[in-house]
Amino acid sequence: MKKRADGRYQSRVTLPNGEVKTVYGRTKGELTENKDELKLAYAMGATNIDKKITVQEWAEKWWKVAKEGKTGNSSQRGYALAMNNYIFPEIGATKLKDIKPIHVQKLINDIGEKGKSKSIQRQVLVALNGMFKYAVRNGLMIGNPAQYTEYYDVPVHDRESLTTAQTTRLLEICNGLQVPKGLKVHRAELAVHLAMYCGLRRGEITAVKWADLDDATQTIHVKNSAEFIHNRPKDKDTKSKAGKRIIPVPPHLWSMIQSQPKKSLFIVPSARGVQMSEVSVRRLMEPVQRRVDFHVTLHILRHTYATLIDRMGISPKTCQYLLGHAELSTTKDIYTHIQDEHITMASEQLRDIYLISQQK
């Protein structure tokens, strides 16, 4: 140990692999603590700690090596949004080695207090867990400080699902839309019913084909979802294994679907009969949105479906299956159990979903 000209104390530590590290401290006590911390970090697997690298610098390296171009387009956007809008502005300049669980929890709490949904919080945590796990694997951290972070409970707003009055009004508007020549049902009305009475996501409505219908059971087999790259649709696997599911179609909606001419591969095609682009989906809902005095999107209609099937007393596990939530993909036996034993029962219960949606 020696004292430097700047007043700090300096000492060298030889690690088990023979590498020699120089440690500094403003006092002898601090020097000893820093030496012990270095030895402990090495023993815990952090064999390559870089005291200068910041969270943002490491995140950019992690992104370039491990993530860029290696996930779907929507996932790439999610990572970019999480890092640029939430992570970098708050903790990007913090040294990677200094990040503790309390910093991550505070970040999530701050996001929640601003009214951001659990979906946004989840995007941020997915990015943080990814970059911190990679740091641990590369010996830059002892452990993952995001591992046990809890979501901030954001109150559910009424706008996330339609009221009974709004549902009735929406159905009236859809039924009154001018139907193009050659069709029995306006494409917007069909999309609205698929979201509100089958719980399909925007990408699933875009991707669902006539071949995905099962006439014998009057169900839709959800196999794919469309993501949009520079406005163009590209079919991909569903968001998770649980996204592949069989959805009972209520009788009124089955009749609507079957009344449509099969001039396209897709049940809800573009006006030109091909798969809808991102702009086509947005324009599809514009005639509806212009005629109602409340906000409505396909996502809100999917929330409405979730509310309706819960009101109808369908079991939580079956609800999760019907909505394609990832929790049901954890074990194969649960997935099979839901598919084999609950869908028939749910089909019977869902026959009245159209009437119940308009009852107070």
Q: For 123-157, how does the pLDDT look when each residue is reduced to its tens digit (9 = 90+)?
A: 999 999 999 999 988 888 888 999 999 998 866 54
38-67 exposure pattern, b = at least 16 Cβ within 10 A, e = fewer: bbebbeeebeebeeeebbbebbbbbbeeeb
At 22, phi and psi to the nearest 5? Answer: -95, 130
User: Which of 10-19, 29-38, 324-333 is least confident?
Assistant: 324-333
The per-residue b/e assignment along 212-236, b for 16 or more CB within 10 angstroms, e otherwise, is bbeeeebbbbbbbbbbbeeeebeee
Contact between 1 and 31 (Cβ < 8 Å): yes
With 70 as the cut, is the pLDDT of residue 95 above it?
Answer: yes
The arithmetic mean of pLDDT across residues 351-355, rounded, is: 84
Give residue 47's pLDDT: 52
Q: Work out the pLDDT band at 338, boundaries 50, 70, 90.
A: very low
Average pLDDT, the chain: 86
Return the higher-pLDDT residue of 74 and 193.
193
Domains and CATH numbers, the chain: 2-43 (no CATH), 55-137 (1.10.150), 158-356 (1.10.443.10)
Whole-angstrom distance, CA of residue 93 vs CA of residue 233: 37
The pLDDT assigned to 329 comes to 38
**Helix (H) / strand (E) containing 214:** strand 213-214
255 or 34, which is more confident: 255
Q: Enumerate residues 6+ apart whose C-beta is below 8 A from 346.
A: 248, 309, 314, 318, 322
- Better-scored residue on pLDDT, 360 or 306: 306
Query: What pLDDT does 229 receive?
Result: 85
pLDDT over threshold 50, residue 158: no
The HSE-up count of residue 17 (CA atoms within 13 Å, CB side) is 9
Q: Tens digit of pLDDT for each residue in 289-335?
A: 999 999 899 999 998 998 898 888 888 888 888 998 875 432 233 33
Percent of all residues in the chain with a pLDDT value above 90, rounded to a whole number = 52
Least confident range of 126-140, 142-156, 186-200, 208-222:
142-156
Higher pLDDT, 360 or 84: 84
Average of pLDDT values for 197-219? Answer: 96
Task: Supply the pLDDT for residue 331.
Answer: 26
